[in-house]
């Protein structure tokens, strides 16, 4: 299927006319987006079908990645690129006097996730397809994605994100594969004459789960995997029972909106409904597949792997038990063996407040049969472990504790594999958060450091850099990222360094134009672009960044004639709507931006830009233009981070604490090519254990720090209504939970080192090049290959020599 430009032009014109009944010349950008999306979807549909058929024919083991969140980003460019028809389409459109770039901007960015966890799921989907691994995504088709963020007077305001307003061209509603999910009511077990107990239900709320399938296109390998997102509807045969909107509400609300919190667990009934809805529909459709192809049930673990992305889908464990026992009539022991061998779990956070614990009463009432099963899992666990491990360990690891269902415990007990997402994070799971489990099941624990897809984050987001790498080392690195290291050979090559610097400058110019367009702020593209993009959370310490900016501002005011390295500080971050402190930090940074950007004494020396509505599409614009990536979480708190990897791959130098994957970045790039500062995780643990930290002392004894902190509340910053004082109080009077003041000095020091280096452009660019060339180990292709080999035991299904090749070099 080699499309030519002329074929494309003819087919596209017809496509447009068929859809809109007038000529393409009269179309709006949005219509062109729709027509082009449908064109591409038609083009890939054969591969989609053939991929599914080939997996069935081969009897391939398939993995199902269960996740409450996916953040795929816009798909038009990515799909065309992976299919290998992007250039043809671009050329054809140009001949038609249309611009691919503007058309691509018309696509809604599906914000079906909060942050790192959701984006990781989508990078993984891309890698699964590109590695020719039979991998399916299973999630929720939220009608409203994560809220759209607006700033009003510098305050965050949330607006609904109606991403489905225009047609979603990528999805296919699949009426053939619906299933019923039951909530509430009464359940009991009745012996029958066939010799087993039958589960009987009455007065349940029945919800129809309707799958919408979205193609996940592999890189140049003719493979298209499936992402299945479920939507809740009234079962057709019960339609007559529903009369008013109020009556429909309990059903329609299930998939209406994504919970906008990525760090704070709230035991809300609706969230529990969402979790069970997605899990039940997903597991049912897997088992139906087995029935259809008559696979013996005991072979389930040889044929499928279910991956649980954080605890949110952990009910897959009791749901699989339920189906195997109640519907497939296996015994408990048979069902349990299958379930454990099938399921695996990734932990994404050590924040205690993020760990899911459902009230037993709520679970019992909403999911009576599931609760019975959890109770039995717990009973057997306790009975078995009590004599072996004693009271303390057994009760601390039990699933049912103090009136709640501990979902992490359920996930660990019901899985054969438990992994963290960076080396340090996994170590902390084993030595602290899940320590007792590590004692019981040491063999289950393993590390899988996160990764990113270079296809979206480098090839497409940074085409100039990609072309340069192609020119210098050939194109092999695109299929085999390890090849990127060859680029290191150019670190002393002046011409290459100049080219790298020029590309960065071009990217910065484009971003500067965009900043002017959307924020009305003029920035100097030659200034150092310093970027922090991630959810707003105290542990990520955007306020440490803000203190440093204030410090710079005060220094420039005190020494107006001193030469400084000009900087543009760039932020993108949403705060959970109920997270007051995070919202106060947003307001303070916005007010600092007002102060700094409008002070004539400051000029180009310092600018602060806080973008509204940070998400995948904005990240694609910002990351290629970054000189510094801020990764400044308190050591031990950030499980991995993934923007650190994206920024480094685009030549940003990392400003980092020794946390999450920053440590591995440092190991690969070398400590001379990264700015490390701050407490280590051990020091943090020690300070917490001996309670010796007193932030107020630092305030009182460190004059530089005091000046900066005082500026938060003495009127220096315009437009605040107590937000500066609130942050001041948390840092000075409430003893600074995240050790911001403790790390301040060493942070400023590292920032000064960055200035000094930036003043030597060739040296800076050399380190930038080394970052680019050292980023290969963070390709999600490697991460996925390790999941596939170590956890899922799924194979790559090559039909030729296409696709991302078997990876020769075990990295990390």
CB nearer to ligand 26W: give 89 or 634. 634
CA distance readout (Å), 510 to 270, 456, 524, 577, 620: 43, 18, 11, 32, 12
Which residue, among 451, 399, 401, 444, has the nearest Cα to 422 in the 3D structure? Answer: 451
Contact pattern for ligand 26W over residues 304 through 323, marking x by CB under 6 A: ------x-------------
The span of 192-200, 255-263, 556-564, 737-745 binding ligand 26W (CB under 6 A) equals 255-263
Handedness of CA 544, 545, 546, 551 (dihedral sign): positive
Using the contact rule CB under 6 A, the part of the chain among 70-78, 257-265, 368-376, 464-472 near ligand 26W is: 257-265
Determine whether 346 is an active site residue.
no
447 binds ligand 26W (CB under 6 A): no
Considering the rule CB under 6 A, would residue 641 count as an interface residue with ligand 26W? yes
* Catalytically annotated residue among 74, 141, 348, 574: 348
Which tokens go with 792?
Answer: 């899922």
- Describe the strand order of the beta sheet including 567-572 as a list of residue ranges: 606-611, 567-572, 528-533, 628-631, 653-656, 675-676
Of residues 640, 774, 775, 796, which one binds ligand 26W by CB under 6 A? Answer: 640
Catalytic status, residue 540:
yes
For the bound state, the minimum distance from the C-beta of residue 114 to ligand 26W, rounded and expressed in Å, comes to 6
> What number of other Cβ atoms are within 10 A of residue 425's Cβ?
30
Q: How far is CA 91 from CA 6, 98, 143, 543, in A?
A: 10, 9, 35, 46
Q: Quick check: 117 binds ligand 26W (CB under 6 A)? A: yes
**What is the distance between the alpha carbons of residues 167 and 592, in angstroms, rounded to a whole number?**
40
How far is C-alpha 187 from the chain's CA centre?
38
Report the residue number, 147 or 758, with the smaller CB distance to ligand 26W: 147
Compare residues 421 and 465 and give the one whose CB is closer to ligand 26W: 421
Q: Does residue 213 interact with ligand 26W by CB under 6 A?
A: no
Among 116, 134, 615, 724, binds ligand 26W (CB under 6 A): 116
Window of 108-116, 231-239, 324-332, 761-769 that interacts with ligand 26W by CB under 6 A: 108-116
Classified as helix, coil or strand, 55 is: helix
Would you say 426 or 640 has its CB closer to ligand 26W?
640
Residues 532 and 571: beta-carbon distance below 8 Å: yes
DSSP 296-336: -GGGHHHHEEEEEESSTTTTHHHHHHHIIIIIT---HHHHH
56 vs 354, beta carbon nearer ligand 26W: 354
CA distance linking residue 179 with residue 208, whole number of Å: 6
Identify the residue among 120, 187, 461, 731 touching ligand 26W (CB under 6 A).
120
| 339 catalytic residue (yes or no) | no
CA separation for the pair 537, 262 (Å, rounded): 9
Lookup: tokens for 471: 């020119």
> Is residue 261 involved in binding ligand 26W (CB under 6 A)?
yes
Nearer to ligand 26W, 424 or 717 (CB): 424
Catalytic residue among 369, 504, 534, 713: 534
String marking each residue 408-437 x if it binds ligand 26W according to CB under 6 A: -------------x----------------
User: In this structure, what is the dihedral angle of CA atoms 163, 169, 174, 180, given to the nearest 10 degrees?
Assistant: 0
C-alpha to C-alpha distance for 207 and 254, rounded to whole angstroms: 9
Tell me, by CB under 6 A, how many residues bind ligand 26W.
22
580 contacts: CB under 8 Å, gap ≥ 6: none
Q: Which of 78, 285, 342, 642 binds ligand 26W (CB under 6 A)?
A: 642
Among 110, 451, 660, 803, binds ligand 26W (CB under 6 A): 660
Cα–Cα distance for residue pair 444/174, rounded to 1 Å: 37
Shortest distance, position 67 Cβ to ligand 26W, whole Å: 10
- Alpha-carbon distance of 456 to 247, in angstroms, equals 43
Q: Which of 228, 551, 646, 666 is catalytic?
A: 646
Options 642, 657, 716, 765, the catalytic residue: 642
Q: x-or-dash pattern for ligand 26W, window 609-638, by CB under 6 A?
A: -----------------------------x
Residue listed under structure tokens 């130098």: 653
Residue 419 C-beta: closest distance to ligand 26W, Å = 10
Residue closest to ligand 26W (Cβ): 116
- Shortest distance (Å) from residue 445 CB to ligand 26W: 16
Helix residue ranges per DSSP H, 132-230: none
One of 89, 286, 639, 812 touching ligand 26W (CB under 6 A): 639
DSSP-based three-state secondary structure for 5 = helix
Q: Does 450 bind ligand 26W (CB under 6 A)?
A: yes
23, 29, 30, 34: CA torsion to nearest 10: 60
Minimum gap (Å) between residue 116 Cβ and ligand 26W: 3
Assess whether 688 carries a catalytic annotation: no
Q: Rounded to whole angstroms, how far apart are CA atoms 522 and 516? A: 5
Parallel, antiparallel, or unpaired for β 343-346 and 304-309? parallel
Segments in 194-293 forming alpha helices (H): 245-252, 269-293
Nearer to ligand 26W, 27 or 116 (CB): 116
Q: Footprint of ligand 26W on this chain (CB under 6 A)? A: 114-117, 120, 261-263, 265, 310, 348-349, 354, 356, 421, 450, 638-642, 660
Catalytic residues: 348, 534-535, 540, 642, 646
């Amino acid at each position: 299927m080699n499309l030519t430009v002329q074929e494309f032009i003819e087919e596209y014109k017809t496509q447009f006319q068929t859809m809109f009944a007038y000529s393409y010349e009269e179309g709006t950008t949005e219509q062109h987006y729709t027509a082009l999306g449908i064109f591409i979807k038609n083009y890939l549909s054969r591969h989609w079908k053939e991929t599914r058929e080939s997996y069935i024919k081969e009897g391939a083991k398939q993995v199902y990645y269960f996740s409450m969140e996916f953040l795929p980003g816009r798909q038009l460019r990515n799909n065309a690129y992976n299919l290998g028809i992007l250039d043809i389409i671009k050329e054809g459109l140009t001949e038609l006097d249309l611009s691919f770039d503007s058309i691509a901007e018309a696509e809604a960015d599906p914000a079906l996730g909060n942050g790192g966890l959701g984006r990781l799921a989508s990078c993984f989907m891309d890698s699964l397809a590109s590695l020719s691994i039979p991998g399916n995504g299973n999630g929720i088709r939220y009608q409203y994605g994560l809220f759209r963020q607006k700033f009003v007077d510098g305050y965050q305001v949330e607006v609904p994100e109606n991403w489905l307003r225009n047609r979603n061209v990528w999805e296919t509603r699949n009426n053939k594969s619906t299933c019923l999910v039951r909530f509430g009511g009464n359940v009991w077990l009745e012996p029958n004459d066939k010799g087993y107990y039958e589960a009987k239900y009455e007065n349940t709320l029945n919800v129809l789960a309707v799958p919408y399938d979205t193609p996940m296109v592999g890189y140049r390998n003719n493979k298209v995997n499936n992402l299945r997102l479920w939507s809740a509807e009234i079962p057709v045969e019960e339609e007559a029972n529903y009369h008013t909107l109020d009556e429909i509400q309990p059903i329609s609300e299930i998939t209406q909106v994504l919970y906008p919190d990525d760090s704070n667990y709230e035991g809300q009934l609706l969230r529990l409904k969402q979790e069970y809805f997605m899990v039940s529909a997903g597991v049912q459709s897997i088992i139906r597949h087995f029935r259809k192809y008559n696979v013996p049930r005991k072979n389930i673990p040889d044929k499928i792997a279910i991956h649980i992305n954080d605890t949110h889908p952990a009910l897959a464990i009791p749901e699989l038990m339920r189906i195997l026992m109640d519907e497939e009539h296996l015994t408990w022991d048979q069902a349990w063996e299958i379930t454990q061998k099938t399921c695996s779990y990734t932990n994404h956070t050590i924040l205690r407040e993020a760990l899911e614990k459902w009230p037993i009463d709520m679970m019992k009432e909403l999911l009576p049969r599931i609760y019975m099963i959890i109770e039995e899992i717990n009973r057997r666990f306790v009975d078995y472990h009590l004599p072996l491990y004693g009271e303390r360990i057994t009760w601390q690891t039990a699933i049912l504790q103090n009136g709640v269902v501990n979902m992490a415990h359920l996930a660990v007990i019901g899985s054969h594999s438990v992994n963290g997402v960076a080396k340090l994070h996994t170590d902390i799971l084993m030595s602290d958060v899940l320590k007792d489990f590590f004692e019981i099941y040491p063999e289950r624990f393993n590390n899988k450091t996160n990764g990113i897809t270079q296809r979206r984050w480098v090839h497409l987001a940074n085409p100039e850099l990609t072309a340069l790498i192609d020119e210098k080392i050939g194109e092999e690195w695109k299929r085999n990222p390890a090849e990127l290291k060859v680029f290191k050979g150019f670190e002393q090559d002046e011409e290459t360094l100049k080219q790298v610097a020029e590309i960065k400058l071009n990217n910065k110019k484009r971003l500067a134009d965009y900043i002017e367009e959307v924020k009305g702020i003029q920035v100097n593209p030659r200034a150092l672009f310093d970027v922090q993009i991630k959810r707003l959370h105290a542990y990520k310490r955007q306020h440490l960044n803000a203190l440093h900016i204030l410090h710079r501002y005060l220094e420039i005011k005190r020494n107006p004639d001193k030469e400084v390295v000009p900087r543009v500080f760039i932020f993108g971050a949403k705060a959970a709507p109920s997270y007051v402190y995070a919202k106060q930090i947003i307001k303070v940074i916005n007010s600092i931006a007002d102060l700094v950007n409008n002070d004539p004494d400051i000029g180009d020396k310092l600018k602060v830009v806080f973008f509204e509505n940070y998400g995948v599409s904005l990240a694609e614009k910002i990351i290629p233009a970054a000189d510094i990536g801020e990764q400044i979480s308190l050591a031990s708190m950030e499980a991995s981070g993934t923007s650190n990897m994206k920024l480094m791959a685009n030549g940003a130098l990392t400003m980092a604490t020794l946390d999450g994957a920053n440590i591995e970045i440092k190991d690969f790039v070398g400590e001379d090519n990264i700015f490390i500062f701050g407490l280590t995780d051990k020091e943090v643990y020690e300070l917490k254990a001996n309670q010796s930290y007193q932030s107020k002392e630092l305030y009182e004894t460190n004059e530089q720090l005091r000046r900066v902190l005082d500026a938060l509340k003495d009127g220096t910053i315009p437009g605040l209504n107590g937000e500066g004082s609130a942050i001041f109080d948390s840092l000075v009077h409430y003893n600074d939970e995240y050790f911001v003041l403790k790390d301040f000095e060493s942070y400023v020091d590292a920032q000064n080192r960055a200035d000094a280096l930036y003043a030597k452009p060739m040296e800076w660019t050399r380190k930038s090049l080394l970052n680019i060339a050292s980023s290969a180990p963070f390709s999600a292709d490697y991460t996925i290959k390790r999941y596939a080999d170590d956890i899922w035991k799924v194979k790559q299904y090559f039909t030729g020599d296409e696709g991302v090749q078997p990876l020769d070099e075990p990295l990390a």
